[in-house]
Structure 1
Amino acid sequence: MIPAMPKPLTSLLTLLLIAMAPAEKLRSETTTDWPSFRGPGARGVAEGSTIPTTWNADPESETNDGMLWETKVPGLGHSSPVVVGDRIFLLTAVPDEGETELNIAAGGNIDAAKDSGAYKWMVLCYDADTGKELWRQTAHHGEPKATRHSKATHANTSVCVDGDRVVACFGSEGLYCYDLDGKLIWERDLGVIDVSKYDIGWGYASSPAIHDGKVAVIGDDPDHPFVTVLQLTDGEEVWRSDRSEVCERSWGSPLIHEVDGVTQMIVNGFPWIVSYDFATGEELWRLEGGGDNPIPTPFVSHGWIYITNAHGGKAPIYVVRPDARGTIKLDSEEDSDSLVWSVERGGSYMSTPVVSGDYLYLGNSNGVVRCFHAKTGEKVFQKRLGKDAGVIASLLAVNGNVICASENGTVYVLKTGPEFEVLAENPMGEPCFATPAVADGVLFIRTTKRLVAISEPE
């Protein structure tokens, strides 16, 4: 039996081992990553993080309080920052000639953008500490195979990262896998995915998701909607499910959730929201949706699956138990065990909600924020943020506050709780459509022109 080491020697040995450990190993153990759209578990929650409540990142301002750094981003994209270790990843689409524009605060405009000419679909990588661009790769070059909405871009999706693999999906322009240094590992042509309505292509927006060495991709083109799962190692297809009988269109990303030994992939859609067995593609349950433009991504909180959508007169919120099976009927007593609660109106159109503590927050394109009790469905409040404060970006919950990035160039910070309390209105100087990210106590915000890092002063 080896005798116990004295405590001072134990502490000294621990310090020596730490000092000798490789820097990369230390970073992986101490850094909180934001590896995909809406971060860990796609919940939009940064647990244990502390970020500033107030800041000023308006480039026209004489003071930039709270801003760690800023860098210009080429082209146009609503791709959200993804942070892994000391690297940030973004997607963008850069025209060969001229500049593309967004129709800001356009109200009910349904027209496609009048783009012409070729684009470069690019993956960008930045240093998280300084904002310096580390590398860029052009995944595809050519004329767009589908049109975009006048408020959307040709690079709406976010990458997902697992280990040393970075997966980017540009819809009609393909699926690509790089290593952390920008070396292309594999690529796959997904065909034309023209997610449209009124015979107008509104653009692709479904970010990929990674789980257990596999990549999930949604391609809900109304003419041939599908979901597929591929191997992360080489992009080979594991299974594909035709969704022509269940979905007319969708723009959300897949939620992958494992519980009780079953991993399911939940996909928002219209007329049906469907859960698939992630291993086989077999349907586990389905729920008739409400809004006919399903955009928000399902997420998990309190052990339940939260789903919302809107448009077409309906805006439901559904909270589903993960052990639900078969067709869930809203008016059936038999299905009362499958639904925790639901409401017919109150859901969000484009922004994915967030649960902060016991409260569910939803932002809307008209600037209205709604709050429900996350466990009971009781409506708590409905308030308007401000003039032209359209919330397109998804919401975040950070350290007891809710972050609402807005189309009017302001990031609102709300205090979690039953009262509507705006703690701060933080100027960015440019519209914010992309969902922010939080990593290592830094808030990363992409505006229409820049990537900005917000942090407490040291």
Structure 2
Amino acid sequence: MPTPTRPRSWFIRMPSMAALSLLAGLLVSCPSFAGAQEWTRFRGPKGSGQSDATTIPPRWTEDEVLWKVPLPGVGNASPVLWGDKIFLISADPKEGTRYVLCLAADDGKLLWKRDYPSETHHLHQQNTLASSTPTVDAEHVYCAWSTPEEFTLLALKHDGSPSWQADLGPFVSQHGFGTSPILHEDLLIIANDQDADSFFIAVDKKEGTTRWKIPRERLAEQNTCYSTPCVYKPQGQPAELITCSRAEGVVSLDPKSGAANWKADVLTSRACSSPVVIGDLVFATCGSGAGTNKCFALRPYGDGDDPELAYELDRSSAPYVPSPVAKGDLVFLWNDRGIVTCVDAPTGKIHWRNRVGGNYFGSPVRVGEYVYCIDVDGNVVSVAAKDTFELGGRSPLGETSRSTPAVAGGRMYLRSESHLTAVGQK
């Protein structure tokens, strides 16, 4: 595959110590994670979608399911875990009430439910009123949702008692809300890319007070994006926050202040998937329902002071909504229409591309030697995480799903619209 030309005007390097420090060392790829580690945010620790658990089979029967429990309401949000507790959100599609739920990881028993009366409003047909995945730490679970009039961000203790709640203002979008918050040190961070005034914000995770807030650029269209940021740490240097939006492209921010380190204005359509760091490359995708999908591999330190476009992949491989996932130097792109592509991360060489069937709105996760993704019909499809194609299997959940699996304690937790299912270690 030829390396594309690299227009210099795409890339802007912001003068800062954090940006200069990228020249001193390579990026550290998002590491693998032990099966027992908490799954604290959308796509797990660091947002990499990876687990080294060895207890999840590539396929299973109904008899091998550990438990399956009904959930109040419906939603696309994924579960998150801390210790023996599962947290997730759901919503009543008729009344608009949001539910924050806590379940026992052992058997799925509902430990508590908190109701937040709200209202219904227009959504994309694939969206729900509960599509934002919470994030969790040792003390709190943090949730987000919106109506056209208000953007709610809140924190609850693990026993369900409230700590704080904030209104970030209106959220204007014909598709509805769906981006997820993340934690970094003492900050709760979330993107607010919408059709009105967009911004990126970090609040004090204990109090909910604003620590920094930066405006986002706007275009005539496709301002609403759903990309959840990724935190990475250049070797021996301060952490950086990687974000994606149609208006600004791929941007690196200082998580302590929101100041920009560098910017690569490469995205040509809406950003719905989340960026990931693999080796010394940042992978970001964009797309649309019309099939304008592209995947970009960026080298932030570049040849000098500018970030560099290493290569890009077109719609035949690139996903629109699902995010990339990796095993070592192998990158797996699971696109919305059921085509999976395995790419050599350093070079962009395609090892294989195969159709597995189905339509997908959740993201894949790599667990041990397999990559798993849930199609809209609720089939959990797996492929071997290697450079030759091998279908692992299909396991039906029996219900529509647009969610991403969570993995912790040797188990995989799978959210369908109104149920939660656990498989793996007994």
- TM-score (ref. length: structure 2): 0.85
The corresponding residue for 1:342 is: 312
**Secondary structure in 2 aligned to 1:65?**
helix
1:234 deviates by 0.2
Counterpart CA distance in 2 for 1:437 and 1:142 is 27
1:41: how far off? 0.9
Match of 1:141 among 92, 107, 117: 117
Q: Which of 1 and 2 has greater Rg?
A: 1
Distance 1:239 1:211 in 2: 13
- Tell me: CA distance 1:153–1:410, structure 2 relative to 1, closer, same or farther (3 Å): same
Query: For residue 252 of structure 1, what is the aligned residue in structure 2?
Result: 227
**1:34/1:437 contact within 8 Å kept:** yes
Q: Does 1:239 align with 2:209?
A: no
Aligned equivalents of 2:35, 2:60: Cα separation in 1: 26
Change in Cα spacing, 1:31 to 1:423, as seen in structure 2 (3 Å) is closer
Task: Kindly report structure 1 stretches of 4+ aligned residues shifted beyond 4 Å.
Answer: 333-337
Query: Deviation string for 1:34-72 (max 9, x for gaps)?
Result: 01110111100002442122212xxxxxxx232111100
Q: Report what 2:243 is aligned to.
A: 267
Using the TM superposition, give the Cα deviation of residue 119 of structure 1 relative to its aligned residue in structure 2, in angstroms: 1.6
Task: Please tell me whether residue 403 in structure 1 is matched to residue 403 in structure 2.
Answer: no
* 1:425–1:48 distance in 2 versus 1, CA, 3 Å: closer
How many equivalent pairs are there?
Answer: 384
Which residue pairs with 2:143 in the alignment? 168
- Say which of 246, 261, 280 aligns to 2:257: 280
Cα drift, residue 271 of structure 1 = 3.3
Q: Which amino acid aligns with 2:81?
A: V
Taking the aligned partners of 1:40 and 1:123, their CA distance within structure 2 comes to 21
Matched, 1:377 2:351: no
Structure 2 segments unaligned to the other structure (5+ residues): 1-33
Could you give the per-residue CA deviations for residues 264-311 of structure 1, whole angstroms, max 9, x where no partner exists?
A: 222111132222111111111111233422100111222432211212
1:433-444 matches, within 5 Å, as: 433-444=402-413
* DSSP 3-state at the match of 2:88: strand
Give the Å deviation of 1:394.
0.4
Alignment check: 8 A CA contact 1:54 1:426 kept: yes
Between 1 and 2, higher relative CO (CA 8 Å, sep ≥ 6) is seen in 2
- Amino acid paired to 1:367: G
Output the amino acid matched with 2:420. Answer: L
Q: Compared with structure 1, are the counterparts of its residues 335 and 322 closer, same or farther at alpha carbon in structure 2 (3 Å cutoff)? A: closer
Query: Which amino acid is the alignment partner of residue 339 of structure 2?
Result: V
Corresponding residue for residue 104 of structure 2: 127
Task: Give how far 1:420 is off.
Answer: 1.9
Asked whether the equivalents of residues 354 and 361 of structure 1 are also in contact (C-alpha less than 8 Å), the reply is yes
Give distance in 2, aligned partners of 1:299 and 1:45.
11
Deviates more, 1:343-352 or 1:273-282: 343-352
Q: How far did 1:342 drift?
A: 2.9
Tell me: CA distance 1:94–1:300, structure 2 relative to 1, closer, same or farther (3 Å): same
Amino acid in structure 1 at the alignment position of 2:352: F
Q: Residue 266 of structure 2 corresponds to which residue in structure 1?
A: 289
Instruction: Tell me the equivalent position of 1:299.
Output: 276
State which of 37, 59, 62 in structure 1 corresponds to 2:42.
37
CA–CA separation in structure 1 for the residues paired with 2:265 and 2:300: 16
Counterpart code for 2:60: W
Match of 1:416 in 2: 385
Structure 1 Cα separation of the partners of residues 127 and 198 of structure 2: 20
Shift in Å, 1:439: 0.6
Q: Deviations over 1:180-208 (max 9, x none)?
A: 1111100000111123xxxxx10111100
Equivalence map 1:10-25=2 (5 Å): none
- The C-alpha deviation readout for 1:84-111, integer Å capped at 9, x for no partner, is 100001111114x5xxxxxxxxxxxxxx
CA distance in 1, matches of 2:301, 2:180: 25
2:86 to 70, 83, 88: 88
Residue 105 of structure 1 is matched in structure 2 by: none
What is the CA deviation profile of residues 316-338 of structure 1, one whole-angstrom value per residue up to 9, with x for unaligned ones? 222233446xxxxxxxx877863
Quote the offset at 1:156 in angstroms. 0.4
Query: Are 1:368 and 2:345 an aligned pair?
Result: no
**Deviation readout 1:210-254 (Å, 9 max, x if unpaired):** 011101111111221110011011011011111134782211112
Query: Per the alignment, in what secondary structure is the counterpart of residue 59 of structure 2?
Result: coil
Letter in 2 for 1:419: T
Report the equivalent of 1:102. none
Write the distance in 2 (CA, Å) between the matches of 1:168 and 1:143: 17
CA RMSD of aligned residues (A): 2.1
C-alpha spacing 1:169/1:396, structure 2 compared with 1 (3 Å): same
Identity %: 28
Task: Deviation per CA, 1:162-185: give whole Å up to 9, x if none.
Answer: 221111011344001011111110
Structure 1 unaligned spans of 5+: 1-28, 57-63, 98-117, 196-200, 325-332
